[in-house]
Amino acid sequence: MTGPEYEVVIVGAGPAGISAACVVAETGRDALLIDDNPSPGGQIWREQERHGSNWEAAHWLRRLQLYRVEVLRGATVIDGDPDKHAIVCETANSVSTIRYKKLILATGSRELFLPFPGWTLPNVMGAGGLQALVKAGMPISGKRVVIAGSGPLLLAVGAYLKKQGAHVLAIAEQASWARLARFGLGLPTQPYKLAEAVQLKRALFRVPYHAGAWVEAALGETVLERVRLSLSHRRWEAPCDYLAVGFGLVPNIELAATLGCKLSAGCVQVDPMQQTSASDILSAGETTGIGGVELSLMEGRIAGYSAIGDRLNAQWLFSDRERMRRFARRMQKAFALREELRHLPLEGTLVCRCEDVSYQRIAPMPGWRAAKLHTRCGMGPCQGRVCGPAAEFLFGWHCQSTRAPVFPARIDSLIGHKEE
Amino acid sequence: MAELVWISIDESPVEVEPGTTVAAAILQSDTAGFRRSVTGEWRGPVCGMGICFECRVAINGQPHRRSCQAYCESGMVVRTK
Ligand SMILES: Cc1cc2nc3c(=O)[nH]c(=O)nc-3n(C[C@H](O)[C@H](O)[C@H](O)COP(=O)(O)OP(=O)(O)OC[C@H]3O[C@@H](n4cnc5c(N)ncnc54)[C@H](O)[C@@H]3O)c2cc1C
Ligand code: FES
């Protein structure tokens, strides 16, 4: 494999990838930052470059420019050969091989979607999904939106949509008040987080927030018309335009797995220097565990120092990282998914949306492999990115299976790089 | 203000701000069903970030393009279903 070589190549231009790239480039080394989106920023700072208002995002994007980090936009890393220190990268009209001395995987996370009756109706979307679409120009002003699922993202999305003029009818958080209260009591030890919580609360003034509540069904003929929620002691049903549902986040480990990095509990395993089990491959941010933007930034910096062999500067940040990881663990516990959600799908509810495979066909299978073989579940274009984590939650299966290419690539990409 | 971009969605002209994705433009035209699933159900975008493949449409004759990952360009021809 030939192609340009960089000292450090970073995959994923979210907070983790950006901070890693800055640390490397600051020392005058050449860094290449690759992302499949048209602009850097990752999930949280999406569209920041065009009309952003977040000071932290602006700060980091300015640093990227200042240190002249080379950014390869609209490019997906689909494969690689760790022995040759090379990755394969696909853009809209080309496929190329790029070589690295050190590789940092900062591929972030995606939303966890769980099946419930009606979840496949058009206008039922992810919570972060709806937010991303609105940021990309979807009109939301005056629309009635119900938000459901779990985690702090629901609040961030609610506040954002309300600011854009949506009528947020309700936010249904599946975690109970008791769990949230226990988590909330710990907040004063994190003054920064507390300020954030107060701000969100103000932004969501008059939006009903229900804890211990979840979506039972989305109803409609061919598109979403009504939503039914289970609140603690009653049912709630209302007509609405959009239902935004996300049950938390899942690390994007597919590329790391393809490159041979060891996983543990669905995350890429790293040592204190953010080094993975594969030589010269590091990982940072939500690929290594869900923890929010601050932890992603911190891990990115450590990975950056680690990649250039600056142990001392990396070690300075260990205690901050540990504090953030502790907070993340508490958060995961507070928002742990409840048993009732396993029983939401009816017999005919689809679990695999690509191949239209129903719950009743998948449930009797002994495991993920058998389900794939006999029902085609997880064999569609999303390669099990949606139904895999759902099946893992519903049936307790181990649903990880990745073979290159990481994403359905154009056929010429495959032929091209295999011939080299 | 930047100039608006014109695209055609199922033969109707739609005018959008530059930087709008095709998925957002389709939703602007009040279409919720983007495609039919393998058993004929209507589907629309879910993840908004390129992983679910539910938002696939034909763009300039190219089928199965993820509309949430494509930006509108003047003269683009988009087909749902
Ligand atoms: C849909 C969604 C919305 C969110 N909204 C918020 C919010 O409003 N507020 C909040 O506090 N937190 C939000 N979060 C949480 C947020 O993702 C994290 O806190 C933070 O952005 C994680 O940063 P990261 O750098 O680890 O990963 P990310 O920000 O996820 O960045 C990873 C980047 O890598 C790219 N990538 C992945 N694989 C490849 C590949 N093979 N080739 C090329 N590029 C690749 C991705 O497209 C992405 O741009 C959201 C998460 C999701 C999934
Ligand atoms: S909405 Fe999921 S891929 Fe476009």
Instruction: Tell me if A123 and B71 make a contact (CB, 8 A cut-off).
Output: no
Contact across the interface for A137 and B28, Cβ inside 8 Å: yes
Which CATH number belongs to the domain containing residue B46 in this structure? 3.10.20.440
Residues on chain B touching A128 (C-beta within 8 angstroms):
47-49
In this structure, which amino acid lies at residue A86?
A: A
Do A121 and A134 touch, CB atoms closer than 8 A? no
Domain of B23, in residue numbers: 5-79
Fold: same for A2-110+250-331 and A115-246: yes
Domain ranges for chain A, please list them.
2-110+250-331, 115-246, 344-420
- Cross-chain Cβ contact B49/A125 below 8 Å: no
If one compares A257 and A91, the residue with the highest pLDDT of the two is: A257
Higher-pLDDT residue of B43 and A201 is B43
The model carries a pTM of 0.93
- pLDDT, residue A54, reads 82
Reduce the DSSP state of residue B74 to 3 states and report it: coil
Check if A35 has its Cβ closer than 6 Å to any atom of ligand 1: yes
- Contact criterion met (CB below 8 Å) for A347 and A324: no
Q: Are A152 and A211 in contact (CB under 8 A)?
A: no
Ligand 1 atom nearest residue A129's Cα: 1
**CA distance readout (Å), A151 to A229, A307, A338:** 17, 33, 13
User: How many residues are present in chain B?
Assistant: 81
Are A32 and A6 spatial neighbours (Cβ–Cβ below 8 Å)? Answer: yes
A303 lines ligand 1 (CB under 6 A): no
Strands A214-219 and A226-231, by their bridges, are antiparallel
The verdict on domain A115-246 having CATH code 3.40.50.300 is no
Confidence of residue B32 (pLDDT cuts 50, 70, 90): confident
How many Å apart are CA A340 and CA A344, to the nearest integer? 7
The Cα A173–Cα A200 span in angstroms is: 15
Question: pLDDT band at A272, cuts 50/70/90?
Answer: very high
B79 inside 8 A of chain A by CB: no
Q: pLDDT > 70: what percent of chain A?
A: 92
Q: Is the pLDDT of residue A280 over 50?
A: yes
Which chain A residue is nearest to residue B17, measuring alpha carbons? A137
What pLDDT is stored for residue A166 in this prediction?
97
Q: Percent of chain B, pLDDT > 70?
A: 99
Beta bridge partners of A251: A109
Give the distance from residue A246's alpha carbon to the nearest chain B alpha carbon, in angstroms: 9
For ligand 2, residues with CB inside 6 Å are B 45-48, 50-55, 66, 68
Rounded average pLDDT over A98-104: 98
Q: For residues A35 and A200, which has the higher predicted lDDT (pLDDT)?
A: A35
How would you class A96 by CB atoms within 10 Å of its CB: exposed for 0-12, middle for 13-18, buried for 19 or more? middle
The alpha carbons of chain A give a radius of gyration, in whole angstroms, of 21
- Residue A418, pLDDT score: 47
| Count of domains for chain B | 1
CA-nearest residue to B33 within chain A is: A122
Where does the pLDDT of residue A419 fall: very low under 50, low under 70, confident under 90, or very high at 90 and above?
very low
Rounded Cα–Cα distance for residues A377 and A383 (Å): 9
Mean pLDDT value across residues A81-95: 92
Is residue A34 in contact with ligand 1, taking CB distance under 6 Å? yes
Tokens of A100: 């690295």
Contact yes or no for A129 and B45 at CB 8 A: yes
- Mean of the pLDDT values across residues A115-141? 97
Q: Per mean pLDDT, which range of A302-316, A393-407, B15-29 is the poorest?
A: A393-407
| pLDDT over threshold 70, residue A410 | no
- For residue A182, the model assigns a pLDDT of 82
| Residue A413 pLDDT grade (very low, low, confident, very high; cuts 50, 70, 90) | low
ipTM of the complex: 0.97
Mean pLDDT over all residues of chain A?
Answer: 91
Q: Which two tokens stand for residue A163?
A: 């600011």
Q: Residue A227 pLDDT > 60, yes or no?
A: yes
Residue A420: its pLDDT value, please?
Answer: 39
* B19–A contact, CB cutoff 8 A: yes
Q: What is the mean pLDDT of residues A110-114?
A: 97
Is residue A249 within 8 A of residue A151, CB to CB? The reply is yes
Q: Which of B20, B36, B46 to mutate to test the interface with A (most CBs of A within 10 A)?
A: B46
pLDDT of res. A360: 97
- The amino acid at A406: V
Q: What is the SS3 string spanning chain A?
A: CCCCEEEEEEECCCHHHHHHHHHHHHCCCCEEEECCCCCCCCCCCCCHHHHCCCHHHHHHHHHHHHCCCEEECCCEEEEEEHHHCEEEEEECCEEEEEEEEEEEECCCEEECCCCCCCCCCCCEECHHHHHHHHHCCCCCCCCEEEEEECCHHHHHHHHHHHHCCCEEEEEEECCCHHHHHHHHHCHHHCHHHHHHHHHHHHHCCCCCEEECCEEEEEECCCCCCEEEEEECCEEEEEECCEEEEECCEEECCHHHHHCCCCEECCEECCCCCCECCCCCEEECHHHHCCCCHHHHHHHHHHHHHHHCCCHHHHHHCHHHHHHHHHHHHHHHHHCCCCHHHHHCCCCCCEEECCCCEEHHHHCCCCCHHHHHHHHCCCCCCCCCCCHHHHHHHHHCCCCCCCCCCCCCCCHHHHHHHHHC
**CATH number of this structure's domain A2-110+250-331, picked from the four choices 3.50.50.60, 3.90.470.10, 1.20.1250.20, 2.60.120.260:** 3.50.50.60
